[in-house]
C-alpha cells in the first residue's frame, strides 16, 4: 500500500480505446496512482478523450505516441493499443524507461512478447498485463479454496468460459475482428481470461497438451469469432475453455477437486462493483450428492477490481522507483504462459484441432 | 394422467441394484403404477430386497429373471441390471410382451441397443430409459427457454458436466469399473446425462463431430473413470461435456444462445425433491455485460422426478394396454442418440482423441 508520504505513480495513457475509459477511472480511484498524461495519434483525439473522461487540466496532452515516451513526468504507461502494435510500442516504452501496464492479449504471439519482456528486463521496468479479475480480493479467496487440500483437495477439472454477443457493426468494423489489428479475435480478447482461469487453478503450471475443439467459427479474414479448447496436465488434471463474440454473456468457472467444487458466475466482471460472490460445495456422497449443500460466499472490495489492478501495478513501480527494488517477475511470467496457451490453441485451430504439445515451451 | 378408473400399471423390478431402491419408491409414488413383482438371481436376495424396501405382501418374489418374464400379472419391467446384461434381458423381456423401463446406459453399444429396439418394435412394447431429469417439470421450463427465439435465440454452446467422487471400495469393486459389467464406466454412468443435456439443448439433433478431450483417465482394466469431450453441429453450435468418478460433485449446465444464457447447477439430481431452480440471463451489452442481471426461476414438482418418470412410462404403457395405442418412438430414439454419442466418445478415446464423424450413423 502507498503511504501518505509516497508520491503517486504518474501514469500516461497511451491510446484512447474504449477500455482506456475504464482504466482512467481506475487510475483515479487507485490511491497511489495519478493520470499524468494522455497520448493519441493526434492532439485533437487526445484532447477530446481527456475532456470526455474529465481529466484534470494538469494532465499533459500528447499528439503522438513518441511524444509521451519522452515525457519525463510520466513513470509508467498504460497501453491499450491494438495487439499488433504492442511489440513496437511496449518495447519503445521499456527502452524509454517507462513501466508498462499492457492490455491483453499482450502480443500477437509469444515470440513478440518475449521481445517485450527482454526490453523490460534490460531496462529494469515493471510489466503487468490488464487482467483485472486477477486483482479482485475475491480472487485471493478463490485461490485459498482451490489450494486447500482439505476443502478442495486436488484439482481434477476446470471449465471456464467468457462470451459476449457483439452487434453487426462490431463484426464488420471493430479492431478485434481485423487480422492486422487485434488479430487474435475472441481468443485473444475473451479466451485470454478463460485460459488465465485454467492456469490460475493449476497454480500456473503449463498444460502438457492443448487441443482446439471442433466447431471454431472464423470470419472471412480468418479471425476467430468463437472457439473452445481442451487442456490437459499430468496426473489427470484437465480443463475446457470456451470463448465467443457470438453468444450472450457467460463468464463461468466450474472447478472440481477431489474433495470440493467451486463455481463462479461472473469471474471476469463481477455483477456488483462493491463485492463479488462464489459458491463452494464440500465433499459429497456418491449416493447422496447433496449431503453438503453449496455455500455462497461474498467478498467485499474497497475499490473496483480495475483500481485494485492499478494500485498493485503502482505499488510495484513505487518499490522500484523509490526503494530500488527489482521488477516482479510473476506478472510477465503468467502473461507469457497465457500467451503460450493462446498461441497453442490458435495453432491447433489452424491444424484442424490437432493436439499441440507444450512440453519444452 | 391416469384416471380413477384405470388400473395401475403393474411393474416388475428385475434386479436389486442400489438404484432399484430409488425407483421402487418412485413406482410407489406414481399414481398410475404399482410394484407387482421383484426378481433376483436367488429367491433369498429378492426377498431381502423386498423386505428392505417395505414391499407389500402382495408383491410376488421371483428367484430368477426367467421367472418374472413369465409372470402374467406383470405389465412392464424396470431393468437395472449391469449394462452388459441389457441386450439379453431387455430382448427377452420384449419377447415376453413386457414393456421396458431400462436403466442407462441402455447398452454396451448401439448395435446391442438396436437389437433391443427391434425386439420392442416387433412385440409392440414401450421402451424408455432411466434418465430421470428428463421428466422433472423444470426440464419442460428449460426447454421453453432454450427454444424461445426471443429470450434465448439460437444455441451457440452448451457445457454440461456430471461428476461424483467415489471411494476406494467403489474403485476396486463396483460393477461400474468392471469391463464385463458396466463397462462404459463413468462415461456410461455419468457422461450419459451430460450428453443427454447437450442433445436436449440441440433439439436431439446428432452432432456432426465428436472428439474426446486429452486427459481421459482409465483404470487398469481400461474402463473410463474420467473423461471430457467436444461435440460440434453445423452452423457453429458446440458442446463440451465432462464426467468423472474422481472429482467432487458437479452437475452443471451452462448454455449460451445468441440472446440469452441458461445456468443449472443441479440438473441431474435437484437440491430439493419438491422444487428445482435455474437461472436465465437475457441479452447483454458488450460494454455492459450485466445490463440484464441473472434471474432465478423455481419450478415445483408434486412428486419427485423419478416418480414423474415412472408416471410417464406407465401412462404410455396404459395407452397401449388399454387403448391400443402404438408405443411412443420418442424415448427409444433419444436413448439411441445418446448411446451413439457415448460410443463415439469411447471410440475417440481409443483413437487418441481422433475426431469421429457421426454423419450417416
Residue range B49-64, pLDDT digits in tens: 999 999 999 999 999 9
pLDDT at position A4 is 47
CA distance B164 to chain A (A): 6
**How many other CB atoms sit within 10 Å of the CB of residue A278?**
23
Q: Is it the case that residue B189 has pLDDT exceeding 70?
A: yes
Find chain A residues with C-beta within 8 A of B209's C-beta: 214-215
Instruction: Tell me if chain A has a CB within 8 Å of the CB of B161.
Output: yes
Find chain A residues with C-beta within 8 A of B132's C-beta: none
CA B20 remoteness from chain centre: 14
CA distance A104 to chain B (A): 16
Interface touch A211/B215, C-beta < 8 Å: no
Instruction: Tell me the domain boundaries of chain A.
Output: 9-132+305-328, 137-303+339-357
Question: What's the rounded mean pLDDT across residues B157-180?
Answer: 96
Distance of CA A92 to CAs A67, A107, A313, Å?
12, 14, 19
Is the ipTM beyond the 0.90 threshold? yes
Distance in angstroms (rounded) separating the CA atoms of residues A248 and B261? 6
Report whether A126 contacts A100 (CB < 8 A).
yes
Distance in angstroms (rounded) separating the CA atoms of residues B27 and B10? 9
Domains B9-132+305-328 and B137-303+339-357 share a fold: no
Burial A20-40 (b: 16+ CB within 10 A, else e): bbbbbbbbbbbbbbbbbbbbb
Of the candidates B265, B284, B353, the beta carbon closest to that of A165 is on: B284
User: How crowded is the C-beta side of B57, counted as CA atoms within 13 Å?
Assistant: 0
pLDDT at position A5 is 57
Quote the DSSP letter at residue B202: T
Interface touch B161/A159, C-beta < 8 Å: yes
pLDDT at position B172 is 95
Find chain A residues with C-beta within 8 A of B214's C-beta: 209, 211, 230-232, 238, 355
Instruction: Tell me if chain B has a CB within 8 Å of the CB of A274.
Output: no
Distance in angstroms (rounded) separating the CA atoms of residues A324 and A258? 44
Q: Is it the case that residue B180 has pLDDT exceeding 60?
A: yes
Look at the domain A9-132+305-328 and name its fold: Rossmann fold (3.40.50)
The H or E element that residue A161 is part of is strand A155-163
Give the list of residues 6+ apart from residue A23 with CB closer than 8 angstroms, or none. A13, A78, A80, A101, A130, A306, A310
Question: What's the rounded mean pLDDT across residues B284-303?
Answer: 91
Distance in angstroms (rounded) separating the CA atoms of residues B21 and A136? 47
Of the candidates B238, B250, B261, the beta carbon closest to that of A213 is on: B238
Looking at every residue in chain B, the average pLDDT score rounds to 96
CATH of B137-303+339-357, one of 3.30.360.10, 3.40.250.10, 3.40.50.460, 1.10.10.10: 3.30.360.10
Which ranges of chain A have pLDDT less than 50?
A: 1-2, 4
**Quick one: closest CA in B to A189, which residue?**
B286
Greater confidence (B17 vs B172) lies with B172
Instruction: Tell me if chain A has a CB within 8 Å of the CB of B159.
Output: yes
CB pairs under 8 A between A and B: 212
Instruction: Tell me if chain B has a CB within 8 Å of the CB of A247.
Output: yes
Instruction: Tell me if chain A has a CB within 8 Å of the CB of B172.
Output: no
Burial B210-223 (b: 16+ CB within 10 A, else e): bbbbbbbbebeeeb
Give the list of residues 6+ apart from residue B276 with CB closer than 8 angstroms, or none. B136, B138, B266, B270, B298, B299, B301
Q: What is the pLDDT of residues B315-330, one digit of tens each?
A: 999 999 999 999 999 9
Amino acid at each position: 500500500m502507498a503511504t501518505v508520504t509516497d508520491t503517486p505513480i504518474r501514469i500516461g495513457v497511451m491510446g484512447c480505446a474504449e477500455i482506456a475509459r475504464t482504466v482512467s477511472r481506475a487510475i483515479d480511484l487507485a490511491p497511489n496512482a495519478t493520470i499524468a498524461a494522455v497520448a493519441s495519434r493526434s492532439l485533437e483525439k487526445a484532447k477530446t478523450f481527456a475532456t470526455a473522461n474529465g481529466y484534470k487540466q494538469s494532465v499533459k496532452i500528447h499528439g503522438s505516441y513518441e511524444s509521451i515516451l519522452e515525457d519525463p513526468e510520466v513513470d509508467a504507461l498504460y497501453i491499450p493499443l491494438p495487439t499488433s502494435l504492442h511489440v513496437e510500442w511496449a518495447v519503445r516504452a521499456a527502452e524509454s524507461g517507462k513501466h508498462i501496464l499492457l492490455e491483453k492479449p499482450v502480443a500477437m504471439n509469444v515470440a513478440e512478447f518475449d521481445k517485450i519482456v527482454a526490453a523490460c528486463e534490460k531496462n529494469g521496468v515493471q510489466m503487468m498485463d490488464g487482467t483485472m479479475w486477477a486483482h479482485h480480493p475475491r480472487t485471493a479467496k478463490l485461490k485459498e479454496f482451490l489450494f486447500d487440500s482439505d476443502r478442495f483437495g486436488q484439482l481434477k477439472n476446470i471449465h471456464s468460459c467468457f462470451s459476449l454477443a457483439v452487434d453487426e457493426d462490431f463484426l464488420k468494423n471493430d479492431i478485434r475482428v481485423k487480422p492486422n489489428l487485434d488479430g487474435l479475435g475472441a481468443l485473444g480478447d475473451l479466451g485470454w481470461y478463460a485460459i488465465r482461469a485454467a492456469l490460475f487453478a493449476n497454480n500456473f503450471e503449463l498444460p502438457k497438451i492443448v487441443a482446439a475443439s471442433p466447431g471454431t467459427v472464423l470470419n472471412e479474414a480468418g479471425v476467430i469469432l468463437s472457439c473452445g479448447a481442451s487442456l490437459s496436465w499430468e496426473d489427470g488434471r484437465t480443463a475446457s475453455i470456451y470463448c465467443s463474440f457470438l453468444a450472450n454473456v457467460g463468464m463461468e468457472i466450474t472447478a472440481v477437486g477431489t474433495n470440493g467444487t467451486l463455481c463462479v458466475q461472473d469471474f471476469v466482471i463481477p455483477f456488483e462493483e462493491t463485492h463479488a460472490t462464489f459458491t463452494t460445495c464440500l465433499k459429497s456422497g456418491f449416493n447422496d450428492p447433496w449431503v453438503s449443500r453449496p455455500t455462497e460466499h461474498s467478498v467485499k472490495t474497497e475499490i473496483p477490481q480495475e483500481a485494485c489492478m492499478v494500485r498493485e501495478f503502482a505499488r510495484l513501480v513505487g518499490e522500484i522507483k523509490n526503494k530500488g527494488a527489482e521488477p516482479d517477475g510473476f506478472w510477465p511470467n503468467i502473461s507469457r504462459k497465457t500467451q503460450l496457451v493462446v498461441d497453442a490453441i490458435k495453432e491447433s485451430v489452424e491444424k484442424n484441432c490437432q493436439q499441440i504439445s507444450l512440453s519444452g515451451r
